[in-house]
A = this chain, B = another copy of it.
Amino acid sequence: MKDIAKDLGVSLMTVSKALRNHSDISDETRERVLKRATELNYQPNWIAQSLVTRKTFLIGLVIPDLMHSFFAEVAKGIGRKLGGMGYQIVISNTEEDEAREERHLNLLIARKVDGLIVASAQRSGRADVFQSLEAAKVPYVLIDRMLAGVEANFVGVKDAEVGDLATTHLIEQGCRRIAHIRGPAVATGSGRLRGYRQALARHGLKAPTEYVVCGESGDHTGYEAMRELLLVEPRPDGVFCYNDPVAAGAIKAVLEAGLSVPDDIAIIGAGNVHYSDLLRVPLSTIDQSTTRIGEAAAELLSECMTSKSALPARRIFFTPTVVPRDSTRRLAR
């Protein structure tokens, strides 16, 4: 900028204004400045700019697992929406680790991101991290995983509803001994479990405690958990899995044991990841409007960032729906 100003015999300010086409600059001057700028291949320094404007055009995206299609899809939706508005995304993969998440969140604050979108790995209760967010006045929106006791913007589905829907679907397909491979102790994990129990209760079904086993989040854990479940007597005839990757692993275990999906054991997941339809047995699942979650979160955040006064927290819930495929298609009833 200094060079341009010198070359053109104008002041630094004139250049600055011309470059951002500020109103009060003559067309002629603006032209000259712009011309010289491209000649010199001038690149504005965002750092300096950020320092004075207090705006970085950086959004922090904190998620537990990039490899999980669900989050990758959400990330894509966010990137598209926010990218169009000139923001860039700094991503942080917490690998489902609370301490790591806290560290990264603080780094992002120190970096002065304009906003934050978080699918938190915090186990229920531990919400102190978000205190610092409030203190730092960084607008943020939670996605997918609600945090008990945090009054914050949220976009996602009601977890119990997902569990209820999935379990009810299995019951309608004629399953009577329904097991659940549960997820981590975050809101989604415990909410889906609650929904599962609720659906069973409503239909007067009981499940022994061994019918709820612990997966975590990946296909590998689904496989292991299912093998465990296969040893339980009486053997379940339906399994609701925490998410689609877990369900995919579970299907593998069932088939390996020489049993059929869905005839011996019906399986349903949650999340409707894009490759569910291509699995060993096309997977029935619960759709959560993944892409729209990302987009809605982006929009909500953008409103928070634009508005001068702090807006009241809003919660946007999408309605989950059953996507029936072969893995629960039972002829019998």
- A76 to B75 CA separation, bound complex (whole angstroms): 14
User: Is A198 among interface residues, defined by CB-CB distance under 8 A?
Assistant: no
Dominant secondary structure of chain A at its interface with chain B:
helix
Residue-wise, chain A 52-76 has the 8 Å CB interface mask toward B (1 for contact) of 0000101000000011010011011
Residues of B with C-beta under 8 A to A67: 69, 72-73, 76, 274
- A76 to B96 CA separation, bound complex (whole angstroms): 13
Q: Of B47, B75, B110, B252, which contacts A112 at CB under 8 A?
A: B47
Residues of B with C-beta under 8 A to A251: 278
Residues B43 and A136 in contact, CB atoms below 8 Å apart: yes
Residues B93 and A79 in contact, CB atoms below 8 Å apart: yes
**What are 29 residue pairs bridging A and B, where the CB atoms are less than 8 Å apart in the complex?**
A43-B109, A43-B110, A43-B136, A44-B110, A46-B112, A47-B50, A47-B112, A48-B51, A67-B69, A69-B69, A75-B91, A75-B93, A79-B91, A79-B92, A79-B93, A80-B93, A88-B111, A89-B90, A89-B91, A89-B92, A91-B91, A219-B274, A219-B275, A219-B278, A248-B275, A252-B278, A275-B275, A279-B280, A280-B280
Residues of B with C-beta under 8 A to A88: 90, 92, 107-108, 111
Residues of B with C-beta under 8 A to A91: 75, 79, 89-91
Residues of B with C-beta under 8 A to A189: none
Q: Of B51, B72, B135, B278, which contacts A248 at CB under 8 A?
A: B278
User: Is A45 among interface residues, defined by CB-CB distance under 8 A?
Assistant: yes
User: Is A23 among interface residues, defined by CB-CB distance under 8 A?
Assistant: no
Residue-wise, chain A 263-294 has the 8 Å CB interface mask toward B (1 for contact) of 00000000000110111101000000000000
Residue-wise, chain A 35-47 has the 8 Å CB interface mask toward B (1 for contact) of 0000001011111
Residues A252 and B277 in contact, CB atoms below 8 Å apart: yes
Residue-wise, chain A 212-234 has the 8 Å CB interface mask toward B (1 for contact) of 00000001000000000000000
In the assembly, how many copies of this chain are there?
2
A residues near B, CB below 8 A?
A: 41, 43-48, 50-51, 56, 58, 66-67, 69, 72-73, 75-76, 79-80, 83, 88-93, 106-112, 135-136, 219, 245, 248-249, 251-252, 274-275, 277-280, 282
Q: Which of A47, A50, A107 has the most CB of B within 10 A?
A: A47
Q: Which residue of B lies closest to A252 (CB)?
A: B278
| Nearest CB in chain B: distance from A292 CB, A | 15
- A72 to B65 CA separation, bound complex (whole angstroms): 9
Q: Which residue of B lies closest to A282 (CB)?
A: B280
Residues A76 and B69 in contact, CB atoms below 8 Å apart: no
- A69 to B248 CA separation, bound complex (whole angstroms): 15
Residues of B with C-beta under 8 A to A279: 275, 278-280
- A279 to B278 CA separation, bound complex (whole angstroms): 6
Q: Which of A56, A73, A251, A278 has the most CB of B within 10 A?
A: A278
Q: Of B58, B274, B282, which contacts A90 at CB under 8 A?
A: B58
Residues B79 and A66 in contact, CB atoms below 8 Å apart: yes
Residues A41 and B75 in contact, CB atoms below 8 Å apart: no
| Nearest CB in chain B: distance from A94 CB, A | 10
